[in-house]
Homo-oligomer: A and B are copies of this chain.
Amino acid sequence: MADLQKAMAESARAVSETLDRLLKVGGGREARLMEAMRYSSLGGGKRIRPFMVTAGARLFSVAESCALRVAAAVEMVHCYSLVHDDLPAMDDDDLRRGQPTCHVRFDEATAILAGDALLTRAFEVLADIPTHPDPQVRSQLVLALARAAGADGMVGGQMLDLMSENESLDMPEITRLQRMKTGALIAFACEAGATLGKASEPARHALRAYAHDLGLAFQIADDLLDVEGTAAEVGKKTGKDAALGKATFVSLLGVERGKAQAQILADQASRHLEMFDEKADYLRELARFVVTRRA
């Protein structure tokens, strides 16, 4: 695990540097917009999704500068979704990563626009030439990210989540919700390196299978943190799912079976990576980390 922590810290630093370069504040009265975009994306975070991109890209000897741009784009989309989800009209959260949320620090209008602009910048980054010399690869990345982030993916999942408050979802319904809300972007992150490296279909299939199991394990771990963690540890309000009467994996399975299930999924995720030998060790360790993290 020591190695993983070091690799994750190194990747997080490089991704932050890339974000810093891609989000430069210009002159003009509208500078507040870019400040809010930077506040929402450079204020820390574990950078788990970007790490999936860089670790996946390493399997196919992709140039680091390309992988980091895609990693930054994924993080922009993740951060935009947090900014919008935190808005008063949505989850109404004041705290994120231990800091005031964007609309608290700035204002609601700025937060809405900062989210919009982060999402837009993500596509700009993917479509631009330094991301990959082959325009076919760039188009594929844009298409895959748009599908993962849009109405049939993350945004659809968020809508489904809002529609499901105080509904008693069963296991297939919760699984579908989470595959859309968090799984789709994780799957994009895990597969992006294979796209950049023009990997074979079996390799892509293996990474998709890994992402599928990892995504569910990740979500169960998140649900457990909401039940067992404190705001100080987790950096955001906890106990929210229960307060909203939200059905989650953990509300259905209970804490103990939830933990066991997350462990099984993490092990299963790693087993999909056999074809990559020790090159995939970081991804295997990541699967273990995801279900043992405390924040």
Contacts and interface: CB of A to CB of B under 8 A. Distances in A.
A143 B155 contact: no
Contact of A84 (B33, B112, B135, B146): B112
Interface stretch (A115-123, A234-242, A259-267, A270-278): A115-123
B121 A119 contact: no
A163 B30 contact: yes
A99 interface: no
Contact of A157 (B30, B37, B84): B30
A96 interface: no
Interface residues of A, number: 57
A159 interface: yes
Nearest to A81: B116
Interface in A68-125: 80, 84, 87, 89-90, 107-110, 112-113, 115-117, 119-121, 123-124
Contacts of A119: 116, 119-120
B121 A123 contact: no
Contact of A120 (B112, B126, B136, B149): B149
Which label, helix, strand, loop or mixed, suits the secondary structure of the A interface? helix
Interface string A146-157: 110111100111
A127 interface: yes
Number of chain copies forming the complex: 2
A42 to B, nearest CB: 15
Contacts of A134: 135
Contacts of A123: 123, 142, 145-146
A37 B159 CA distance: 12
B160 A147 contact: no
Most buried by B among A26, A32, A115, A138: A138
A115 B112 CA distance: 10
Interface of A: 26, 28-30, 32-34, 37, 80, 84, 87, 89-90, 107-110, 112-113, 115-117, 119-121, 123-124, 126-128, 134-136, 138-140, 142-143, 145-147, 149-152, 155-160, 162-164, 167, 176, 180
27 contacts: A26-B152, A28-B176, A29-B160, A29-B163, A30-B156, A32-B159, A32-B163, A87-B112, A89-B107, A113-B155, A113-B158, A113-B162, A116-B116, A117-B156, A120-B150, A120-B155, A121-B146, A121-B151, A126-B142, A127-B139, A127-B140, A127-B142, A134-B135, A135-B138, A138-B139, A138-B142, A142-B142
Given A33-B151, A134-B135, 4 more contacts: A80-B116, A117-B155, A120-B146, A121-B146
